[in-house]
């Protein structure tokens, strides 16, 4: 055995002796690489992603189920009707009204013109009952006041009184779901005496209503002056039948 090997062996024994006396465990001569565990601080490339917190997992799952439920469940009918009503009110509020400016300096605007209208019997009865009350102005003034009061909603009021606008389209032919009012509520004559200015205003209102109700509905029937006045009177003086 060479002297170098002997010296190396002796030095190793001396180091081991000092470590035993100091209470330390001698390190292995050829330490093996420690197996990688989740607790070892290994590099980001080799570290497995940490498991999600159970609390966060439950919260995420609950949010996902709520989102799916909101998408799959249609809104209640009451909510839909309220939303539709609010949308219609916003449309009426944004819609420009007809220009009813009258040149009252023109003498022709003061000439009275007798006009015959046709309204449903129930509307006529309710209006006459109110018009015959003591202290009421002439019925022409009451009619013009009703038209003015419900001017913004006249297109909707006209369509609401048409049975053919409430149609069942579940079959291959059009089937009205509301019985015609002409059978149960016959038309009666209603006479008014508007002056030239009021007559001109009524003509502009008729044109304005028809422009709205036929927009996007080229086959829809245009409204007459009688139909528009009847819709205004029915809204102002609610018929009993």
pLDDT tens digits for 135-187?
A: 999 999 999 999 999 999 999 999 999 987 765 556 666 655 555 555 678 99
pLDDT attached to residue 20:
67
Beta carbons within 8 Å of 166's beta carbon, 6+ residues apart: 176, 177, 178
Three-class SS state of 107 = helix
User: What's the rounded Cα separation, in Å, for the pair 145 and 127?
Assistant: 12
Of 184, 197, 188, residue with least CA distance to 233: 188
pLDDT attached to residue 14:
64
Looking at every residue in the chain, the average pLDDT score rounds to: 77
- The counts of H helices and E strands in the chain are 9, 4
**pLDDT single digits (tens) 115-144:** 999 999 999 999 999 999 999 999 999 999
More confident residue, 85 or 13: 13
Handedness of CA 212, 191, 99, 96 (dihedral sign): negative
- State the average pLDDT over residues 78-91: 54
Three-class SS state of 116 = strand
């Amino acid at each position: 055995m060479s002297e170098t090997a002997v010296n190396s062996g002796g030095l190793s024994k001396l180091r081991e002796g000092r470590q035993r006396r100091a209470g330390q465990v001698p390190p292995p001569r050829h330490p093996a690489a420690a197996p990688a565990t989740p607790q070892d601080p290994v590099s980001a490339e080799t570290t497995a992603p940490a498991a999600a917190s159970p609390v966060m997992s439950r919260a995420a799952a609950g949010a996902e189920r709520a989102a799916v439920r909101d998408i799959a469940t249609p809104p209640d009918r009451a909510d839909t009707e309220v939303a539709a009503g609010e949308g219609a009110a916003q449309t009426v509020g944004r819609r420009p009204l007809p220009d009813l400016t009258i040149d009252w300096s023109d003498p022709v605007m003061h000439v009275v013109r007798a006009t015959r209208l046709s309204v449903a019997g129930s509307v006529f009865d309710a209006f006459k009952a109110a018009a015959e009350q003591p202290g009421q102005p002439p019925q022409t003034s009451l009619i013009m006041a009703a038209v003015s009061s419900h001017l913004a909603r006249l297109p909707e009021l006209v369509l609401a009184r048409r049975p053919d606008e409430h149609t069942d389209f579940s079959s291959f032919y059009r089937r009205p779901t509301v019985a015609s009012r002409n059978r149960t509520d016959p038309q009666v004559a209603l006479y008014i005496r508007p002056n030239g200015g009021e007559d001109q205003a009524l003509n502009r209102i008729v044109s304005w209503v028809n422009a709205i109700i036929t927009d996007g509905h080229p086959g829809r029937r245009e409204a007459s002056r009688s139909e528009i006045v009847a819709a205004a009177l029915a809204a102002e003086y609610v018929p009993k039948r």
